[in-house]
Chain A
Amino acid sequence: AQSVTQLGSHVSVSEGALVLLRCNYSSSVPPYLFWYVQYPNQGLQLLLKYTTGATLVKGINGFEAEFKKSETSFHLTKPSAHMSDAAEYFCAVSDSLTGGFKTIFGAGTRLFVKA
C-alpha cells in the first residue's frame, strides 16, 4: 500500500517569503500525486496534481510542485506568501486497488502567514 508523509505539521512564514511544504510518498509504481488546500470550515479543493508528463506542475494561486522520482518527493512551493494562503495543505497519492484507486491523504500541514 502507498503512503504519504508530510514533514512538519505546522509551517510559519512571513508575508512575501518563500513557501515550502514537504511531501514524500512511498510507491512501487508511478504514482498520481495531488496537493489539496482546506480553508477554515471548508471542504478541500485541488491546488495541483501530477499524473504523467512534465514533472514540474503549476497550480492555482501561484503554487507549483515538482515530482522527483529519485527522491520520492512532491514538495509544494510558492515564491511569495500572501496572507490569504493561510490554510491547511494536504498531499495525497492514489493507491491502486482491484478495479480502481483510492486516495491516501497525508496528515496535513498548517501554513501560518505572518504580516
Chain B
Amino acid sequence: DTAVSQTPKYLVTQMGNDKSIKCEQNLGHDTMYWYKQDSKKFLKIMFSYNNKELIINETVPNRFSPKSPDKAHLNLHINSLELGDSAVYFCASSEERGGGETQYFGPGTRLLVL
C-alpha cells in the first residue's frame, strides 16, 4: 500500500499547455509539500500546506497553483507550460511542520515539455 502516491508518473506535453499532477498520502499526515528536482538533481521546495492551509510559497511563477482539497491531497496545476518547467516533481508529506519531522516522498512525476 503506497504511502505517498503521485499521478501521472510521466507527463510529456507541448509548450503552452496546462497540466495537473495529483498527490495523495495515506499516512494521516498534516503537512504536504511540492518539490522540483532539476536535471542536475538539485531539489528545491515550491509549496507546503498544513491542514489545507498554504504555509510555504517559494518564489515560484504564478503559473504554478497548488490546491489542497483535504489534508490527504495536494495537487499541482501548471498553466502555460514552458521548456524550463521540465523536471521531476516530488510530493512529500510529514506528520507535522516541526523542523525535525521526517518527510515521506512520492515516486515523482517526470514532466517533459517539448
Contact = CB atoms under 8 A, between A and B. Distances in A.
A88 B41 contact: yes
Interface string A32-56: 1010101001111110010110000
A103 B48 CA distance: 11
Contact of B107 (A43, A96, A99): A43
Of the four ranges (under 10, 10 to 19, 20 to 34, 35 or more), the interface on chain B belongs to 20 to 34
Nearest to A45: B105
B4 A49 contact: no
Nearest to A90: B43
Given A88-B41, A100-B56, A46 B102 contact: yes
Interface string B39-50: 011111100101
Contacts of A94: 99-100
B7 interface: no
B99 A96 contact: yes
When A and B form their complex, which 9 residue pairs have the shortest distance between CB atoms, in order from nearest?
A43-B105, A94-B99, A51-B100, A101-B99, A32-B99, A100-B97, A105-B43, A32-B100, A44-B105
Interface of A: 32, 34, 36, 38, 41-46, 49, 51-52, 88, 90, 94, 96-97, 99-103, 105, 107-108, 110
